[in-house]
Each structure stands twice: as C-alpha cells, then as structure tokens.
Amino acid sequence: MKPTRESCILPPLLPRELKTKPTHECGVFAVFGHPDAAMIAYYGLFALQHRGQESAGIVSSKGSDSPFAMHKSMGLVAQVFSPGDLERLTGTRAIGHVRYSTTGSSNVKNAQPFVVSTARGQLAIGHNGNLVNAAQLREELEAKGSIFQTTVDSEIILHLLAQPYGNGGVLSALRRIEGAFSVVLMGEREIIGFRDPHGFRPLCIGKKDGAYMLSSESCAFDLIQAQFIREVEPGEVVIIDNAGIRSEFPFRTARSAFCIFEYVYFARPDSTIGGINVSKVRVEMGRALARQHPVEADLVVPVPDSGIYASLGFSEELGIPYYPAFVRNHYIGRTFIQPSQHIRDFNVRVKLNLIGEAVKDKRVVVVDDSIVRGTTARSRVVNLREAGAAEVHMRISCPPHKHACYYGIDFPDPEKLLANQCTLDEIRKYLGADSIGYLDPAGMIRATGRPEKDFCTACFTGDYPVPYDEKFDKYVMEKRAGRARLLDKEEPRLL
C-alpha cells in the first residue's frame, strides 16, 4: 500500500523567483442535479485552474441519506484526480475548489472544500476571497468552545453556520462576516452560492442539461458547454435545491467594489465579466496606453501571455507591427532544478526565450500588464539589449502598484513593490529602458466601459472599501502559539 500522507510542511511549488506575478487567490465551482456532478465539477475546476494551482478538491453528495464523498490534495486538477477518485465521488451534487493560499499555510489540511458535520447536518464549503474580521470572529468562537483545525478563514464561516440560531437560519450567520467572499456551500438538501455585498470577487450562474451551476468565471461554462445565465449580484445569496433556484439578499447594502485587477490580469481572457469580454477590455487598455504614452518604434513585443491583448491594442492604435519575440516554454512544469551559477537570469529566460534575430537593431516597445518587484521586467530589458535592440520602451497596461490587497490577492509586502521605492524615472533607470509609461487609473477604468464607482482600485490608490487590521489578524490566525502575550492575555494552561 502506498501511504496517504498528511503533513504540515510541503515543498514550495515553484522556485520563489518564478513567482513574479501576484498570485491568483481561488476558484470555486458548484453543480446541483446533474448525473455526472463530480465530472462536471472536475472540468469546471480545470477551466478555473489559473485561479489557484496549489490544491484542488471536490465534495459530492447524493442528498440527505448518505455521507458526502470528498477528494482533495495538493497539486493541479489533472494531478489530483484519478478516474477512480472521480468514480468514488458519487451523487448528483458537487462543489469544487482550486486554491492558491493567501491565508493559511500551504498544507493539505488547508485545502478546500472543507467538510464538517453540524447540528444542521453535513456542510461543505469552498471560498474565494478573504475575511477582514476573521481574527475577531475566531477569538469569539474559541471563547464559546469552538476548536479550529486549520488557519484558513473559511473554517470560520462553517463555525458560524453551525451556531444555534433562531429561525433566521444561516442568513444571520452570513451577516457576521466581513470582507471579500464568493462562496459555494453544500448542505444535505441544497447548494448555496453567495457573494459579499461589495462583490469583490466574481461568481456566476450557468445551466446545463437542466442542472444549475455556479462558477467563479464564465470560461468554465464554455468548456462544459453550459449556458451562461447571469452573474450572482453583490450581496446576493442564491439557493439551489430540488425546488429550483431562488435568491435572498440578507446583507446591508454596500458600495460595489469589483476588483479591477481581474480585468487587467487575473481573469481568463475568454471570460465575460460585467457583460464585457475580458480580452476586449485588455485590447482597449492597450489602445488607451498607446494614446497616453505613444512612441516611435519598429515592433511591439508582448510579454506572454498576460501582455498579449494589450500589446495588440497598442500595436493597432499606433500602427506599429506586433511581433511575439518572446517564446514561451510549455514544459517547465511545476518544478525544475535550480539553475547553476553558470547561467545568469536563468529563471526568467527558461520561461521565455527571446528570438534575438527578430529584435536586432529594432526600436522595441515591450507591453506587459503590470510590474510588481521589477526584477523580471529588468531582465527582459537586459535580454533585449543583449540581443541588439536599438531602443527598449516599456509600457504597462495599468497604473503602478503601491498598496497591499486585503481582499484575496497575494501581492508582495508594499515595501517591496517597485513603485513604492522609486520615482517613475528611477523605475525607468532601474529597468534600463529608454522610456516607460503606465496606463492611468481613469484610462484603465474607461477601458472596461463601466463607471469608476463599480470598482475596487485599492492596490493602485490605497482607497480600501472595507477596513482591515493586518497586525491583529496575523497574530491570531497564523501564529496561534505565543499569541497570548501579544494579546496581553494569560498563557493557556490545561491544569
């Protein structure tokens, strides 16, 4: 027998240097009333893989007569599930989850969905987002006697749901949580999907063969040939059971705050959000960028894959030829052996190799979606210079990143963000570029065709729709041991 392991420590998924992009947070999927529920969820997660590549899981149910079946593991969807695993996930209902940890350590214990047994029967949950009052809720629940098995804020939602309430049922529980949350929840009789009142993260409804589905993004419906119905509204609770689909709106009304970075980078280009195709928004961002920061050049070169559509818009707006001079290696996989000292900038070049001949003696515009730390962007410029590019102009299809995200995206610490350390000209010099240009906030928003008030732009502007105390949270959620002193409490003792 091959032992099944549950271990507290897992090797890093990718060499740290490769994590040059803000990491996606999570993706959720649910299906109610389909004979192949687990299989449908599997394909749904497959299409949402870009939202979380650390762990994947599915929980299925036959209804109130049998226990939920679960399979989850560290790894990609295609690695986590074998045909036998899917066969064991019987039932016509299923929820699934892919995860890239923002809270909780990288650990199979923290992989979702979570399944528990409560006075309300069995519950399974999958959560995309980040609660801002997790620490307070956890302190409160522990004081009442709750025990916690993970460091993930999603476990708190389950505890709240399990508390004895009056007739209000779970809606009163949901009113306690604050922050960003797009959640799928499976009980013994229904599947529930809900989105926080600000609508930070996407969630949408689809239908196939008469069965309703929920998905973080619409691209999952394309793959399984389901019909896209509509998005779940901010603050909406959608209940799907044998009687059909219905909605509740238990939350206080709040300003809309959809994460604009989903348009810029996170969402798949083939998804539709807010009625607009994401790739088209990116082309528009490229056009706006070209108008704001035009340049005379011979080639527009995208950084694949995130910069492709903005590059095309930039190229078309200025009539400069587009050339994919960076070639992506599709085989690097999730692990490879660290570069020897003999090879400089290996990690940057192993992902993308430059076609040197294409840029030699050319004035090149490089278009990417964002700059975080700047090390990768700098290597690209060096790469182009060494290949003989006459000029290198860097263009970025969003404003400079200066602030942390508390709503589910894993940016580096703000002090490590390049735009917090340098002026625009210092950035240009650091990168070694001949010029640099960022799209401004207004241009970015205008490219979506939606009004500014719809969006959260906190990572650019520092304007946070929901307040958050990072310090308190870290001590309570992650560093359980020793927190007594930090919170001026007596040390715990058993006897």
Q: Which of residues 314-343 bind its own copies (CB under 8 A)?
A: 316, 321-324, 327-340, 342-343
Q: Per-residue x/- marks for its own copies, 131-150, CB under 8 A? A: -----------xxxxxxxx-
**Angle, vertex CA 418, rays to CA 414 and CA 423, nearest 5:** 115
Whole-angstrom distance, CA of residue 431 vs CA of residue 372? 12
Query: Does 279 sit near its own copies (CB under 8 A)?
Result: yes
For 479, half-sphere exposure in the C-beta direction (CA atoms, 13 angstrom radius) is 12
- Give min distance, CB of 203 to its own copies, in A: 17
SS3 312: helix
Taking contact as CB under 8 A, which single stretch among the options 182-190, 286-294, 392-400, 451-459 is the one that binds its own copies?
182-190
Alpha carbons 11 and 118: distance in angstroms, whole number: 34
Q: Which is nearer to its own copies, 431 or 477 (CB)?
A: 477
Binding segment (CB under 8 A) for its own copies, from list 216-224, 284-292, 369-377, 455-463: 216-224
Contact characters 229-268, its own copies, x per CB under 8 A: --------x-x--------x-------------------x
**Calpha distance 179→234 (Å, rounded):** 12
Written as six digits, the tokens of 143 are 């004081």
In the block, tokens 């986590």 appear at 80
- The token duo for 75 is 């790894």
- The footprint of its own copies on residues 33-72 (CB under 8 A) is 36, 39-40, 42-43, 46-47, 49-50, 53, 63-72
User: Token pair of 106, please?
Assistant: 């990288």
The radius of gyration of the chain's CA atoms, rounded to the nearest angstrom, is 23
The tokens for 367 are: 């278009």
Residue 77 found at the interface with its own copies (CB under 8 A): yes
Quote the DSSP letter at residue 4. Answer: P
Residues 454-493 that bind its own copies (CB under 8 A): 479-482, 484, 491-493
Q: How far is the CB of 81 from its own copies (least distance, A)?
A: 6
Q: Taking a C-beta distance cutoff of 8 angstroms, is the pair 408, 202 a contact? A: no
CB of 393: closest distance to its own copies in angstroms? 20
User: Angle at Cα 392 formed by Cα 387 and Cα 394, nearest 5°?
Assistant: 130
Contact pattern from residue 344 through residue 363 relative to its own copies, giving x for each residue in contact according to CB under 8 A and a dash for the rest: x-x--xx--xxxxxx-----
Q: Is 100 in the site for its own copies (CB under 8 A)?
A: no
Shortest distance (Å) from residue 33 CB to its own copies: 13
Among 4, 242, 253, 423, which residue interacts with its own copies (rule: CB under 8 A)? 4
Contact call for residue 227 and its own copies (CB under 8 A): no
Residues 373-412 that bind its own copies (CB under 8 A): none
Q: Does 298 bind its own copies (CB under 8 A)?
A: no
Per-residue burial over 103-141, b = 16 or more CB atoms within 10 Å of its CB, e = otherwise: bbebbbebbbbbbbeeebebbbbbbbbbbbbbbbbbeeb
* Minimum CB–partner distance for residue 210 and its own copies (Å): 12
Which residues, at least 6 apart from 257, have a Cβ–Cβ distance to it below 8 Å? Answer: 198, 199, 200, 454, 455, 456, 465, 466
- Give the active site residues: 26
State which residue, 122 or 292, has the beta carbon closest to its own copies.
122
Residue closer to its own copies by CB (options 107, 133) is: 107
